[in-house]
Structure 1
Amino acid sequence: MQYYLPLFGSCHNLLRMLQRSSYLLSSDLDKVVRPNVVFLRECGLGDCDIAKLCIREPRMLITNPERVRAMVACAEKLGVPCGSGMLRQALQAVAFLSEEKIAAKVEYLKNTFRWSDAQVSIAVCKYPILLRKSKESLKRRSEFLFSVVRLEPMYIADRSVILGLSLEGRIRPRYYVVKFLKQSGLLDRDWSFWSAVTVTEKVFVEKFICPHKEAAPHLAEDYATACKGEVPTSIIFR
């Protein structure tokens, strides 16, 4: 406990970890846990990052140190080096996945988003959790982004975090709001698709909904309906 409390930063975090894996307290501290922590620190992860990683993947601290080194090597092979701010997410993405499964997911990403090897590397570097997304969710996003929004493969690779956003609750409703406003000549600036879908909900409403209460009185209601995954009565979301 004297070792783990400073590492996890609080009793709350430690309890979360123990709820995920009670084996932590019975693992060999000197032969397994400490070497893993030392190595992860050498890779550029701070204790806060290690705590977050291990709460998500509780086996990380108690697995064979050689296996942890192999996971870091896998992340580096995908283009996320030690010292990168995305290393924690990359380790979370590849943790305890076989090389075959990772290779299969990379191949699926290439085929689904029409990416080259270099573009897959860019996408994974910017959003490593992409490797954990289901094939069905990735397919639905690719169909919408290519067929409706008409984005280019490189645009998506450069902004791969888009693929982690809710299609029904965020991407689709916001796209059609912006499309409607542009067609109606109601926008005072040319907002990009990226900007529109990545701003917070509060900012989106302030910038795209509230200023148009008189010109488009049903916009707020239709947007709220669309965010629930329902089809609003207005044509603007069709």
Structure 2
Amino acid sequence: MLRLRGRIVAHLLSSSSTSGPAISPLHRLLSASAAAGPISPNPAGFAVEDYLVDTCGLTRPQALKASTKLSHLKSPANPDAVLAFLSGVGLSGADVAAVVAKDPQLLCAKVDKTLAPVVDGLTGLGLSRSDIARLVSLAHAYFRCRSIVPKLHYYLPLLGSSHNLLRLLKRGGSHLLSSDLDKVVKPNVAFLRECGLGDSDIAKLCIHRPRMLTTNLERVRAMVTCAHGIGVPRGSGMFRQALHAVAFQSEEKIAAKLDYLKNTFRWSDAQVSIAVCKAPIVLSKSKESLKRRSDFFFFEVGLEPAYIAHHPVLLSYSMEGRLRPRYYVIKYLKANGLLGQYRDYYSIVMPSEKVFVEKFICPHKKAAPHLAENYATACKGEVPTNFRFT
């Protein structure tokens, strides 16, 4: 009987899909499982570890670890109900295995008292079936807490969409679901609004810095002071980027990065200030990344320190995907008398990929038939023969 039930539940999981009708009522989700007949409260031979492997899809090592938290289970009845419910929500067998491995106690949750009300509440907030399935995978233990519904009732309007919410959770922001809204999150949000950030700015900031909303208010105040200290005042267009750059970094680390920028790009104090104010994100770049760009700009492109300081966004672009390949194209066009009007390096790097190709590749199909192919090769990190200049 246990094997039959296991096969039925496993079939439910393997046949689940994110497409199809809306979430079924509980009695429909469990109907296939019920067809196996009643189960005694303590069926002989029930082994949690085997159940986790055979029915939930865990590996043996995962099951061994998870079973320590489920040693009190004497019957598969509740786990079967949970698995059937998750199948109805739209989780695949692989999704279920991953969720159970991270939160084995989900199998002990009451479907009628906890999981079904949570899903009903999330549906009422406008989350789709696929959104809820992803949320189960990302929220882990917090999904079996009914408090998740009122918290998402607050976060969804703040973040702007379920897509942003799921992105934030994927980046490690699940602690948002455990933080105290009234004592921690809302005061931080209110302070950021006082600093001139709109909800869309807060959403963008927190997707990359999830802890910004859940750390203590004094620490957020210190970050704002630090952003102001590098020359980016509240209310300025770069303030969000400045907060992003200095968040959770000590004053010593920021000072050291400013010194590194100054030395690497041969900047004066005034020039490093200009660069950081225009593009605070440069403070987030690694030393290796900055050094590679410095060498490229100085020794290959021939840029001056002042030019880089006034166009610091150049430091944020991909070396292989943008900076170097576009430079090769322009150098090739110049060498072959095809460039026409002179253009400086910044005006070549700034356009979108589509615009760059339309302006600098397409017009030369006849004169340089292999230019597009060579450019594509350069974007992969290789240097075509035609782009090798002596």
Percent of counterpart pairs with the same letter? 73
Question: Quick one: higher RCO (CA 8 Å, sep 6+), 1 or 2?
Answer: 1
CA contact (8 A) 1:169 1:229 kept: yes
Aligned position for 2:330: 178
For 1:12 and 1:200, the matched residues in 2 are separated by 25
Deviation per residue, 1:23-47 (Å, 9 max, x gap): 2132222222111111100111000
Map of 1:23 onto structure 2:
175
Residue 328 of structure 2 contacts residue 387 of structure 2 at CA under 8 Å; is this kept in 1? no
Distance 1:195 1:52 in 2: 27
Taking the aligned partners of 1:233 and 1:151, their CA distance within structure 2 comes to 24
Match of 2:155 in 1: 4
Matched, 1:226 2:369: no
* Correspondence list, 1:10-159, <5 A: 10-19=161-170, 20-159=172-311
CA distance in 2, matches of 1:116, 1:135: 18
* Shift, 1:182, TM fit: 1.9
Amino acid at match of 2:335: Q
Secondary structure class of the residue paired with 2:301: coil
Q: Residue 368 of structure 2 aligns with which residue?
A: 216
Would the aligned equivalents of 1:177 and 1:236 in 2 still touch at CA under 8 Å?
no
Equivalent-residue separation in structure 1 for 2:237 and 2:371 (angstroms): 39
Preserved contact between residue 188 and residue 213 of structure 2 (Cα < 8 Å): yes
Range with greater deviation from structure 2 (175-184 or 92-101): 175-184
Question: For structure 2, which runs of at least 5 residues remain unmatched after alignment?
Answer: 1-150
The one-letter code sitting in structure 2 at the alignment partner of 1:55 is I
Aligned counterparts of 2:168 and 2:356: Cα–Cα separation in 1: 36
TM-score (norm 2): 0.59
In 2, the alpha carbon distance for the partners of 1:188 and 1:172 equals 21
Partner Cα separation in structure 2 for residue 179 and residue 48 of structure 1: 41
8 A Cα contact 2:326 2:348, kept in partner: yes
Aligned-pair distance for 1:169? 1.9
TM-aligned CA deviation for residue 68 of structure 1: 0.2
Kept in 2: contact 1:80–1:125 (CA 8 A): yes
Shift of 1:17: 2.7
Equivalent in 176, 179, 202 of residue 354 of structure 2: 202
SS of equivalent residue, structure 1 residue 234 = helix
**Partner residue of 1:191?**
343
- Structure 1 CA distance for aligned equivalents of residues 160 and 374 of structure 2: 44
Which sections of structure 1, spanning at least 5 residues, go unmatched? Answer: none
Deviations 1:71-102 (A, max 9, x none): 01101110111001111111111110111111
CA–CA distance in structure 1, aligned partners of residues 383 and 339 of structure 2? 24
8 Å contact 1:173–1:237 — kept in the other structure? no
Q: TM-score, normalising length from structure 1?
A: 0.95
Shift in Å, 1:146: 0.6
- Indicate the SS of the match to 2:276: helix
Q: Which amino acid aligns with 1:83?
A: G
User: Which range moves more in the overlay, 84-93 or 105-114?
Assistant: 84-93
Report the RMSD for the aligned CA atoms in angstroms.
1.5
Cα distance between partner residues in 2 of 1:162 and 1:189: 22
